[in-house]
Chain A
């Protein structure tokens, strides 16, 4: 036990003053203080914006698990946001308002979709994998557009947020902290997974899959399991997103949204635990700020991303220095 403690103390001594540690810690503190700021400054929009950032960070975190650690570049990740969101919206419309039903359904539906897509796409590599994940996401998009009972193209308003017994999510602060809690739990979960036996198999398969098979790993089933875990996590983000906006529409899973998620993951730094949060924060705050200045925020965001992708190895997290930690 004392070995452990010594190790932790040494790790702490090495880490606490490093830029990465300082930035991550500052980010967490700032996020924890958002409701306070919102109340003091009388700025309710801050809560909306930051709830959204936290939810998108969860989605980007899930993408980082398969893309950053697993090397599986899914270009259809927004489909999980949509499936999770529609699970909540459809159940709400049909009179089932309990979050105890809605959220597990959102997670299970996303996991099942991931199982099907993964089983079919993970036998391919590179561009083919990207195209298949995109094609499936487009299919889900058009299915949602065709659901006339649930608003079709126009989408569907959710009149009541998910209810957990006597506990509701109507209070913005409660909802924000719930999202933040899910994000922190998600980061911890991904950290544990990545360093477990399972996580090493996933990273080994990214690094050199033929070799993994040669030393005796049936890599397909591990990659598929990882794909399903990520899908389930992103489905949960979708359920949160539907509650946050009180609205679902096919636009949630437009292919450009999948692109946004990739941008967030790459921008923040793949294989970095806090990369997705940094990426989502940077991306959405920039988008917000630029929308005040110009009608074409992408005109600035696009080149910025190019610069990061070309010149900065490891995204913003990479800028914070040193070797990345698995």
Chain B
């Protein structure tokens, strides 16, 4: 059996009367790409928020690399190697693309109580940042301000920033939302290359991408996990078809590469 990197144990979160996470238990194995799908409002982003620490669960536990992180603040979890990208691009708009990624590198290069040297001239920050931009195919836009980047480029920058923190696990919240087909295809390629070296939790509505990339798929509806299995089994699952796939998005055979 593969070893679990992230273990979620009966995680529960309520917002008023709504149960956004209803005793969710799930284990993510090292190196797998695990897709999390479900209709809008199923509680996928809330789950990611709890994994990164932005949202405090009402009960339950989260273990990362066998270490209980349930009570750790956001920045500590990032230091442990848990990185996320945001559904709505969350960047530093007045900085250039390279500045954005360099900040992510800096966050994991010791403390920042360094008051004197010009940080934009430090090769140990700029070079890894350039590498991360290159990995998502954005290096030619390195010196462009975020405000002048296209929507798709911002999404790519999101992922470059997450990568620059040298994470062990990547939480991607709808990275392809609003991307054109070309940009999506490039991102699928990037993720395929990352697969195996990183453990990835991918929240995505693009079913072609999900079935092309995922080792396993978990389906959430109304805060509950209704199925968690390999893609073939999920495609065959009657409850999933009824609850989600059938009504939302037809799974086309040409989109499935295993």
**A residues whose Cβ falls under 8 Å from a Cβ of B:** 192-193, 195-201, 203-204, 207-208, 210-219, 222, 225
Report whether B113 and A215 are in contact in the complex, using a CB–CB cutoff of 8 Å: no
- CB pair A216–B115 under 8 Å, yes or no, is no
When C-beta atoms are compared, the residue in chain B nearest to A226 turns out to be: B115
Report the minimum CB–CB distance from B230 to chain A (whole Å). 31
**B interface residue numbers (CB < 8 A to A):** 52, 54, 73-76, 78-79, 83-84, 86, 90-95, 99, 102-104, 106-108, 112-120, 122, 125, 161-162, 164-165
| B117 A215 Cβ-Cβ under 8 A | no
Q: Which residues of A have CB within 8 Å of B76?
A: 218
In the bound complex, do residue B118 and residue A196 qualify as a contact, i.e. CB atoms below 8 Å apart?
yes
In this complex, what residue of B is CB-closest to A324? B94
B118 touches A218 (CB 8 A): no
Q: Which chain A residue lies CB-closest to B161? A: A215
Besides A197-B112, A198-B114, 12 other CB < 8 A contacts? A196-B116, A197-B106, A198-B112, A204-B103, A207-B92, A213-B73, A213-B74, A213-B75, A214-B78, A214-B90, A215-B107, A218-B75
* B75 and A216 form a contact (CB under 8 A): yes
- Cα distance, A198 to B112, chains bound together (Å): 5
Q: Is the CB of A195 within 8 A of B95?
A: no
B48 to chain A, nearest CB (A): 11
With A193-B115, A196-B119 in contact, is A214–B91 under 8 Å at CB? Answer: no
Distance between B120 CB and nearest chain A CB, rounded to angstroms: 7
A218 CA to B110 CA, complexed, in Å: 12
Partner of B107, one of A199, A203, A208, A216: A216
Closest residue to B85 on the A side, CB-wise? Answer: A214
On whether the beta carbons of B107 and A195 are closer than 8 Å, the reply is no
- Give Cα distance in the complex from A200 to B104, angstroms: 11
Question: Do A199 and B74 touch across chains, with their CB atoms under 8 A apart?
Answer: no
Residues of A within 8 A of B90 (CB): 208, 210-211, 214
Task: Indicate whether A198 sits within 8 Å of B113 (C-beta atoms), given known contacts A207-B94, A215-B103.
Answer: yes
The interface residues of chain B lying within 8 Å CB-to-CB of A216 are 75, 78-79, 104, 107-108, 165
CB distance from A217 to the nearest CB of B (A): 5
A211 vs B104: C-alpha distance when bound (angstroms)? 10
Report chain B residues within 8 Å CB of A213.
Answer: 73-75, 78
Are B73 and A195 neighbours in the complex by a CB distance under 8 Å? no
* Cross-chain contact of A200 among B93, B106, B113, B161 (Cβ < 8 A): B106
A7 shortest CB reach to chain B, Å: 9
Chain B nearest Cβ from A258, distance in angstroms: 26
Q: Which residue of A lies closest to B113 (CB)?
A: A198
Q: Is the CB of B104 within 8 A of A215?
A: yes
B113 touches A217 (CB 8 A): no
B92 touches A201 (CB 8 A): no
Enumerate chain B residues within 8 angstroms of A195, measured Cβ to Cβ.
118-120
Partner of A196, one of B83, B86, B107, B114: B114
Q: B120 contacts which chain A residues (CB < 8 A)?
A: 195, 200
Residue of B nearest to A271 (CB): B94
- Please name all residues of chain B whose beta carbon is closer than 8 Å to the beta carbon of A204 when the two chains form the complex: 92, 95, 103
Chain B nearest CB from A225 CB (Å) reads: 7
Q: Which residues of A contact B78 (CB under 8 A)?
A: 213-216
CB pair A198 B165 closer than 8 Å: no
The list of the 5 closest CB pairs from A to B, nearest first, reads: A216-B78, A216-B107, A213-B74, A197-B114, A207-B92
Q: Judging by beta carbons under 8 Å apart, are B107 and A222 in contact?
A: no
C-alpha spacing A225/B114, complex, angstroms: 11
Residue from B86, B103, B119, B164 whose CB has the most chain A CB atoms within 10 Å? B103
Contacts of A197 in B (CB 8 A): 106, 112, 114, 117, 119, 122, 125
Residues of B within 8 A of A225 (CB): 113
